Amino acid sequence: MGKQSSRRDFITRTAATGTAGAVTTGTASGAAHIPALKTANATKTNSICPYCAVGCSVTIHTIGDKARNVKPAIIHIEGDPESPVNRGTLCPKGASLEEFVQSDRRLTKVRHRAAGATEWTDLTWEEAIPMMAARIKASRDKGFVEKDDQGRTVNRLDNIAMIGGCTDTNEINYLLSKFRFGLGLLAYENQSRL
């Protein structure tokens, strides 16, 4: 029976064979036939994954020389190996960031389905914002509670709920909290608890 090889032995022999192969082909480094990485000439930008409160660092690779007639494009997103938080790893949601950013299914306009309708229609922001404001005001006027059963001032709103999305930035969450507290909203949920 032959000698059992360990994984370390296999890797050591494979590396030695690869180096010898490069020398026998006439290339000094053996790298001449290796194509360049798609991120070789890309601009690297460090950011933070928006999906949860862990704060994993990501590196976003973009192409485009920032000229006026060139639209920059994201070509790759990966975990930042220099980060003490995630050390270059990403969860499945973080690993799908590129698809999230560049999805052809991502909504870029306001969509509305009227009560009883079966079809969605496109609205402009000039139409949508007054419509939302009027509905929020009508609900607040109907459900606002100024005093509780014991006569204490509570100024709360029980008939509207708000949910925060997992990709909301700190700035959006700050504005949402100001908006929520201004209305007296108590029912608030966010992605980190769902």
The pLDDT value recorded for residue 116 is 94
The pLDDT value recorded for residue 17 is 62
The pLDDT value recorded for residue 154 is 92
| Residues in the chain, pLDDT under 50 | 20-24, 194
Q: For 126-143, give the secondary structure using H, E and C.
A: HHHHHHHHHHHHHHHHHH
Cα–Cα distance measured from residue 32 to residue 13, given in angstroms and rounded to the nearest whole number: 22
The pLDDT value recorded for residue 126 is 94
Instruction: Write out pLDDT tens, residues 116-139.
Output: 999 999 999 999 999 999 999 999
The pLDDT value recorded for residue 21 is 47
Backbone angles phi, psi at 85, to 5 degrees: -75, -55
Those residues whose C-beta lies under 8 Å from the C-beta of residue 25, and which sit 6 or more positions away, are 33
User: In CATH, what class is 43-102?
Assistant: mainly beta
The full set of domain ranges for the chain reads: 43-102, 110-193
The pLDDT value recorded for residue 70 is 74
The pLDDT value recorded for residue 15 is 67
